[in-house]
Amino acid sequence: MNDPIPFMQPRMVGPRFDGHAIPLEMLKDLAVLEEMVIEVAKWCFRKATGRERSPRGFSKGISLKITDIEDGSAVPNIAVFIENDRNLFPAADLPPPKFTYFEKARESICGAINAAANDENITDYLPENLLSYFDRIGRGLQDGEVIEFDPGNTGRPARLDKSTRRKLVLASKINEHTDEVVLRGTVPKIDQASMTFELETNGGSKIVADMGLQQLETVLDATRGYQTGDRVLIQGIGRFDRSGRLKSIEEVEHISILDPLDVAARLEEFYALKDGWLDGKGLAPSREGLDWFANTFESHYPEDLPLPYLYPTGEGGIQAEWALGGYEISLEVDLGSKRAAWQDLNMATDAEQDRNLNLTEAADWNWMVEQIRTLSAEGGA
């Protein structure tokens, strides 16, 4: 095998990639990238030569591999390895002529991504059938994360994020696409013959999900707890139609039974509230505000502390309540200002403590956590 030929240095930007680290789930995207590059190279060959088919063994002896990862935001150095074969090399120190089409493939892929990012005609760079590869590339990207496939080109770095990926997938004209999903709900039934189960979301929709043998026991437990309202958390790959409606879950990566007081699951129940929900009055909490509180609570609240009961308030906020032995605690949250009113009451002495909290400040969350930890210990909760 000859020395590797530098081919691509995609730059991954986002907190998960700090310290030149790449989550294992993102390696799936890079594996699909090799498959896409080969198929696009074949298309470039046919387009340039006018031939209907690429030669048999067109990609024989050619592979893409990560040679190292650079510091800073993760930058995997991807090189092309070519077998040292006289049939592939016209000279000992030169790659085969067909390697030119791999370079054209790289240019076409970056061109399509740039077109999506700049609202240009995507199919000027790649045909619809090859754009379908983006259904599997970038699927693991989270909000705010980006892969720059041509970071050296500061004007057009081929930035793939969730928005540009969606444009590329829609341009492929495929009727359905896949994406990562996080869902909560109950499991009313299971079909062990087909190894599928039905998830009933908090909104009332029912979605069929495939499962593996390793998940069977958890799903059975969830089914047995359906009548008592046991809820599950599912992380996996969902299949959507072109309008963005979830049709099925084609792969369950993780499933777990939730605590009955799980905060995110309880807040999802508030999505259905409409203005006037409280005897013709009462403002409905905003979905944006509910999602913010769910994410902020998960980030700041330790798993070893007791969870609160949650209720909507007539003012469009939420109220969290803890009963910790001899103490009653309430936290009334204004989702608009992201501030909260704290009160704890000693039931034996009637001693109260009140405090206004800014829930965008880590210091106020730390204070609240320490109060709950202390009062839990004193009350024997």
pLDDT tens string for the chain (381 positions)?
467 888 999 999 988 887 777 888 888 888 899 999 999 999 999 998 888 888 777 888 788 888 888 766 788 889 888 775 544 444 334 456 678 899 999 999 999 999 999 999 999 999 999 999 999 999 989 889 999 999 999 999 999 999 999 999 999 988 999 999 999 999 999 999 999 999 998 778 899 999 999 999 999 999 999 999 999 999 999 999 988 899 999 999 999 999 999 999 999 999 989 999 998 999 999 999 999 999 999 999 999 999 999 999 999 999 999 999 889 999 999 999 999 999 999 998 999 999 999 999 999 999 999 999 999 887 655
145 and 201 both lie in a single domain: no
Q: Are residues 204 and 147 in the same domain?
A: no
Q: Both 21 and 154 in a single domain?
A: yes
Sheet holding 75-82, edge to edge: 5-8, 75-82, 62-70
Domain containing residue 224: CATH number: 2.40.50.140
- Do 270 and 365 lie in a common domain? yes
The answer to whether residues 199 and 53 belong to one domain is: no
Domain boundary among 233, 257, 281: 257
Contact call for residues 166 and 145 (beta carbons, < 8 A): no
**If you search the block for the tokens 């829930």, which residue do you land on?**
359
Q: Where among 174, 198, 221 does a domain terminate?
A: 174
Q: How many domains does the chain have?
A: 3
Return the pLDDT at 56: 78
Q: Identify the domain boundary among 194, 226, 257.
A: 257
pLDDT of residue 302: 95
Domain of 358 in residue numbering reads as 263-379
Specify whether 340 is located in the same domain as 246: no
> Both 170 and 190 in a single domain?
no
Give the residue from 178, 211, 218, 184 showing the smallest Cα distance to 197. Answer: 211
Per-residue model confidence (pLDDT) at position 341: 97
Question: In the prediction, which pLDDT does 94 show?
Answer: 43
Same domain as 299, residue 192: no
| 158 and 243 assigned to the same domain | no
Distance CA 253, CA 62 (A): 32
C-alpha–C-alpha distance, residues 174 and 239, integer Å: 12
Q: In this predicted structure, what is the pLDDT of residue 21? A: 79
